[in-house]
Amino acid sequence: MNDTVKPMTTIGLTGGIGSGKSLAAKEFIRLGAQVIDSDALAHQVTSAGGVAMPAIEEAFGKEFLMEDGSLNREKMREYAFNHRPALTILESITHPLIKEASHAALEAALKKNPPYIIFMIPLLFESNNWEGRFDKIIVTDCSVETQVQRVVLRNKLPREQVEKIMAAQMSREERVKNADFVINNDGLLIDLNLQVMDIHQKIIAL
């Protein structure tokens, strides 16, 4: 009798801003996967009373805080994109705390005994904290123009700012080249969901 327990399969889900990561994650959840959202964890540690806020206030000052004590994300985003050392400082504060929160989220997810666990990480390839940790990597992809239009509509940002954010991210070609699975999200929601189903079945078969 073989009592060997197969290790939990872990998947990285990434993609450019506006490429449909959240939509894909929602469908994977419907199919039974557990999804750990690094953006949600980042919001958690930088919310009012969040564990990152004392260090952020000390490094940047109260002017980068909202009235409730949470991080003023819009102001910090604009400042960090124009002052790269500030981004390095912010990440040195938040990344270890997000990683710690992700370990706690993983423990909670494992207790639910899912078929596999997905870590949704927007800047997976750009961050040294995550790459190499996953059995497979999924990339959501769409045309640059589709990305721009979606983010302008969703985030109410000017086109120039969206293009600046995208320029700071890895190119589409590089992301796709590093992917094990690619979800094309230039079409309808049903097209995305069918691709998710196909990838789900392939992951189950690993």
Looking at residue 2, its pLDDT comes to 46
Q: Are 16 and 169 in contact (CB under 8 A)?
A: yes
User: How many structural domains comprise the chain?
Assistant: 2
Question: Domain limits at 155?
Answer: 1-33+114-206
Q: Are residues 136 and 171 in the same domain?
A: yes
Residue among 91, 112, 125 nearest 14 (CA): 125
Q: Are residues 128 and 195 in the same domain?
A: yes
Question: Per residue in 36-72, pLDDT tens?
Answer: 999 999 999 999 999 999 999 999 999 999 999 999 9
Q: Are residues 119 and 90 in the same domain?
A: no
When the pLDDT of each residue in the chain is averaged and rounded to a whole number, the result is 92
Q: For residue 165, what are the CA distances in angstroms to 11, 30, 81, 121, 204?
A: 25, 30, 8, 16, 35
**Mean pLDDT across the stretch 101-115?**
95
Residue 130 pLDDT level (bands cut at 50, 70, 90):
low
Sheet of 136-141: strands edge to edge? 34-37, 117-120, 10-15, 136-141, 181-184
Q: Are residues 29 and 73 in the same domain?
A: no
Q: Are residues 93 and 123 in the same domain?
A: no
Does 4 have pLDDT greater than 60? Answer: no
Q: Are residues 73 and 170 in the same domain?
A: no
Looking at residue 129, its pLDDT comes to 59
* 7 part of a folded domain: yes
Does 1 have pLDDT greater than 60? Answer: no
CATH code at position 187: 3.40.50.300
Question: Per residue in 12-28, pLDDT tens?
Answer: 999 999 999 999 999 99
Q: Are residues 88 and 172 in the same domain?
A: no
Q: Are residues 121 and 206 in the same domain?
A: yes
19 marked ligand binding residue: yes
Q: Are residues 160 and 138 in the same domain?
A: yes
Question: Per residue in 159-206, pLDDT tens?
Answer: 998 898 888 888 999 999 999 999 999 999 999 999 999 999 999 998
Looking at residue 46, its pLDDT comes to 97
**Mean pLDDT across the stretch 70-76?**
94
CA angle 11, 16, 17 (to 5 degrees): 115
Percent of the chain at pLDDT exceeding 70: 95
Does 3 have pLDDT greater than 60? Answer: no
* 106 part of a folded domain: no
Residue 1, token pair as written in the block: 């009798």
Q: Are residues 86 and 169 in the same domain?
A: no
21 marked ligand binding residue: yes
* 109 part of a folded domain: no
Looking at residue 164, its pLDDT comes to 85
Looking at residue 182, its pLDDT comes to 98
Single pTM value for the model: 0.87
18 marked ligand binding residue: yes
Q: Are residues 29 and 120 in the same domain?
A: yes
Q: Are residues 167 and 201 in the same domain?
A: yes
Residue 100 pLDDT level (bands cut at 50, 70, 90):
very high
102 marked ligand binding residue: no
* 168 part of a folded domain: yes
